[in-house]
Amino acid sequence: VPLYESSFYIENAEPVPGLITVQYGTSDFNESEGEYEVTQPIKIPGYGSMQIALTSEQPLERIRVNPYLSYNRTPFSIHVPRRRVYDEVARSEMPLVQAASWQYEDGDSVVVDDLDAGFSVDTTEESRSMPWFMQFLTFAFGETTHDQGLASYSGYSVIFEEWSRQQLDQAYGKYRRTLARAFDSSTVANAHFEANLPRSGSWKLEYHLPNPESIGNSFGGGFGPAVNFNIQVGERRGRQRWGDFDIWVTDGDRVVPIEFDGESIDDGWNLLGEFQLENPLVTVSVSTNTSRGSVVADAIRWTPAS
């Protein structure tokens, strides 16, 4: 019986050894009928890397890593490319675990994530009154908690007119995978990614976004200028697309608006353009003005154009 082999590298970027287990299978882990295998605990030495090789009778569709006690905090998925043609080789299967010299590198790129020091959200003096039904929802679902300065988003939390932080598997992150989000025109506060590039010159700018269906399907409503509410109501059918975001680059005294077409945005990194920068210190900003839905500030990446 032919076997399918899927392998990936994983690096422990900290000095303390850590344990992981790997779940893998051919169907979605969220589905009750999904069958998957779980490895024994695998030790990753401090500042070390491992190659993990998984074998299966059918092509794998899902790989998920449980990092236990780590900066990651929660399990995370590994993207499995879908292929129509597979390479056939006549050899014995690789061992489940073997040491590797692989290290993750950004190369010449400069990445700013929503958890980095370069990310910020404007502080505002907006006054927020709370109608009686919002007081009831707050009582029912509890007070909003905060995550590194932003309100923590969850499908059953009461969301005021402000940016919030959502933990999401498809978001970008070195350890934790999170993003900042806000409803359309919910606040005048803007989100900013400030990067200190090694030099001025020609740079390409990319913007990271997850699948819009992954951030949560909800209905929302505004009552007066002060408050929005958001309640999870279940799965929505049909392909969703991002709205058109309001994004601009600040290069010294120069402000350059960016054309952002939500219909053409893919999952992951998206090229927004090439810029001739006059200053190494540059800021990418996004407002809550969008053609529809929510605005997301996940991560940006600058890469030298040449």
Could you report the per-residue pLDDT of 235-274, keeping only the tens digit for each?
444 568 899 999 999 999 999 999 999 999 999 999 999 9
Is pLDDT above 60 for 138? no
* Judgement on whether residues 74 and 196 belong to the same structural domain of the protein: no
DSSP letter for each residue of 71-133: TT-S-EEE-----SS-----SPPPPSEEEE------TT-EEEETTSTTEEE----------HH
Is pLDDT above 70 for 204? yes
* Judgement on whether residues 87 and 139 belong to the same structural domain of the protein: no
CATH label of the domain that carries residue 63: 2.60.40
Q: Specify the pLDDT at position 84.
A: 80
Q: Specify the pLDDT at position 306.
A: 79
* Judgement on whether residues 9 and 139 belong to the same structural domain of the protein: no
Task: Using the 3D structure, point to which of 77, 100, 123 is the last residue of a domain.
Answer: 100
* Judgement on whether residues 183 and 236 belong to the same structural domain of the protein: yes
Domain of residue 160 covers 110-304
Task: Using the 3D structure, point to which of 69, 100, 131 is the last residue of a domain.
Answer: 100
CATH label of the domain that carries residue 123: 2.60.120.260
Task: Using the 3D structure, point to which of 46, 67, 100 is the last residue of a domain.
Answer: 100
Q: What is the pLDDT of residues 191-202, one digit of tens each?
A: 999 999 999 999
Q: Specify the pLDDT at position 236.
A: 43
Mean pLDDT of 60-65: 93
Q: Specify the pLDDT at position 30.
A: 55
Is pLDDT above 60 for 59? yes
* Judgement on whether residues 52 and 181 belong to the same structural domain of the protein: no
* Judgement on whether residues 142 and 189 belong to the same structural domain of the protein: yes
Domain count within the chain: 2
- Report if residue 105 sits inside a domain: no
* Judgement on whether residues 114 and 95 belong to the same structural domain of the protein: no
For residues 268 and 210, what is the distance between their CA atoms, to the nearest angstrom? 6
Percent of the chain with pLDDT over 90: 64
* Judgement on whether residues 74 and 218 belong to the same structural domain of the protein: no
Other C-beta atoms lying within 10 Å of the C-beta of residue 259: 8
* Judgement on whether residues 59 and 199 belong to the same structural domain of the protein: no
* Judgement on whether residues 84 and 225 belong to the same structural domain of the protein: no
Mean pLDDT of 277-296: 95
Q: Specify the pLDDT at position 218.
A: 43
* Judgement on whether residues 55 and 156 belong to the same structural domain of the protein: no
Is pLDDT above 60 for 133? no
Mean pLDDT of 206-224: 69
**What does the chain come to in residues?**
306
Angle 157-269-250 from CA coordinates, rounded to 5°: 85
Q: Which residues pair with 245 in a beta bridge?
A: 290
Q: Specify the pLDDT at position 27.
A: 65
- Report if residue 128 sits inside a domain: yes
Q: What are the Cα distances from residue 129, in Å, to 84, 85, 142, 222, 291?
A: 56, 59, 17, 12, 26
Q: What are the Cα distances from residue 209, in Å, to 14, 82, 83, 199, 201?
A: 27, 20, 23, 26, 26
- Report if residue 271 sits inside a domain: yes
Report field, pTM of the whole predicted structure over 0.85: no
* Judgement on whether residues 163 and 218 belong to the same structural domain of the protein: yes
> CB–CB of 233/221 below 8 Å?
no
Q: Specify the pLDDT at position 29.
A: 54
- Report if residue 136 sits inside a domain: yes
